[in-house]
Amino acid sequence: MINHRIALLHSNISAKAFLKIQVSFFSCSTRVSQTIKLGEDAPKYHVPNKAHENDPIKARVPGSLFYNRTLAPNFRLANEPLYTNPLINFVIGAKRFTFAFGVVGLCFSYLMAQTQLILPEFCTIMSVVAVLPFPAITWLYNPYVFKIIRVYDITKPQTLESLTTDEQLIVQRVNWSGFKVIQDLVRVDSLRVPTTKDDYEARFGFVNLISEDPETKSVKYFYVNEGFGNIKMERIWSLAERRSGVDNDMKVVIQKCKQASVTVSNEVVSKIGKGLMLLVGISTEDTKDDVEKLASKVLKLRLFEDFSGEAETKTEWAGKPWQKTVVEAQGEILSVSQFTLYANIKKGAKPDFHRAQKGHLAIELYELFLKLLRDGIGETKVQDGRFGNLMEVALVNDGPTTIVYDTKDK
């Protein structure tokens, strides 16, 4: 009898709880349907920037050395950084270790001097040796960037025009002690890359991104490890390079050949006779317009002889040179993708390829380039290699005739 009453009690509680959940669910649904009305302006449903209230964004403005500005509540930081340096712990450790080493070295030198058992000169030398690494490491790693985070204005619609107008970044670095993060507010349109040795401020190459504020004329130096980042960071690099006049456009190496072939894993995958051998490079800034311009130039370029006319020189030319296009000469085209055309070897011995477009984006433009060539000369007249594969390219250069073309050449 008691167990029966307990079971009844539990069933009543469960039923009431279930009924309460149902009522609250329907009441919430009713509230939502009454509040949200189609056709009203989106700002009515604006979500407050709670993150700013709890942790406001503080940054150093151009021309200042201190945190003297808190950004307005309408700004927030992106959820994911554009760039994060996983090697920053090495920099933090170096600063903290050299600081501790200097303090301990000074104390030890002082104690040795107090004993009067060791020459004062030796104690002085020891203290200098202990202290010197800290200012050297601090000076050398001062431009070293920890994170780069985009700043959004939540009052503006998240359109491409809004995001790229007055675009700002928070650039985080580690302070002199290695225990605190410094945040610099930087405009994207103020960034450029070094073009002369003076830009590096004699830091042994530890500066590769510079911000020059147009209003205050202040200059800030940063070092960003180019091996890390994402596609959005590649865009920032491209804008900075364009502002510095760095060549970053679609390139092609055009070679007139008697024959050419591509071999992959000991298998000949493509082969042509008389025609053009192309090495095609696609940069992070290239568009369909660049592809169309490049394809048109290749098809219109007059590199072949007109054998119906006489040679104009006393050399061994057979026929009149520079008269016919590859289409008119009934030649073929072998095209090979070549991202190494954008290698940067200004600093160090290892080539840097960050200006070359990423594979999944480059292949779209490259396939469009092949399509335009085939439309102009014929489907069977255009061969290509294997995109992204290790290839062996062989050719017999006719002439030799080799031309390098850039889509931004004027």
Q: What DSSP state is assigned to residue 352?
A: B
Helical segments of 36-119, H only: 50-54, 88-115
CB 244 within 8 A of CB 192: yes
pLDDT reading at 1 higher than 50: no
Q: Span 39-45, mean pLDDT?
A: 43
CB 270 within 8 A of CB 382: no
Q: How do residues 371-403 score in pLDDT, each as one tens digit?
A: 999 999 999 999 998 887 889 999 999 989 999
Which tokens sit at 230?
């994402």
Helical segments of 42-87, H only: 50-54
Q: How far apart are CA 53 and CA 70, in angstroms?
A: 11
What are the C-alpha distances in Å from 347 to residues 178, 200, 226, 301, 344?
27, 11, 12, 35, 8
CB 67 within 8 A of CB 117: no
Q: pTM for this structure?
A: 0.54
3 state DSSP class of 43? helix
Average pLDDT, the chain: 78
3 state DSSP class of 209? strand
Strands 382-384 and 332-337 come out as: parallel
12 vs 282, higher pLDDT:
282
> Which active-site residues does the annotation give?
338-340
pLDDT reading at 21 higher than 80: no
Q: How far apart are CA 399 and CA 256, in angstroms?
A: 8
Residues in the chain: 410
Question: Fold for domain 251-406?
Answer: D-tyrosyl-trna(Tyr) Deacylase; Chain: A; (3.50.80)
Q: How far apart are CA 406 and CA 246, in angstroms?
A: 13
CB 240 within 8 A of CB 229: no
Query: If pLDDT is split at 50, 70 and 90, which confidence band does 17 have?
Result: very low
Which tokens sit at 18?
């279930």
94 vs 310, higher pLDDT:
94
Residue 230: what pLDDT?
A: 60
3 state DSSP class of 121? helix
Q: How far apart are CA 374 and CA 393, in angstroms?
A: 21
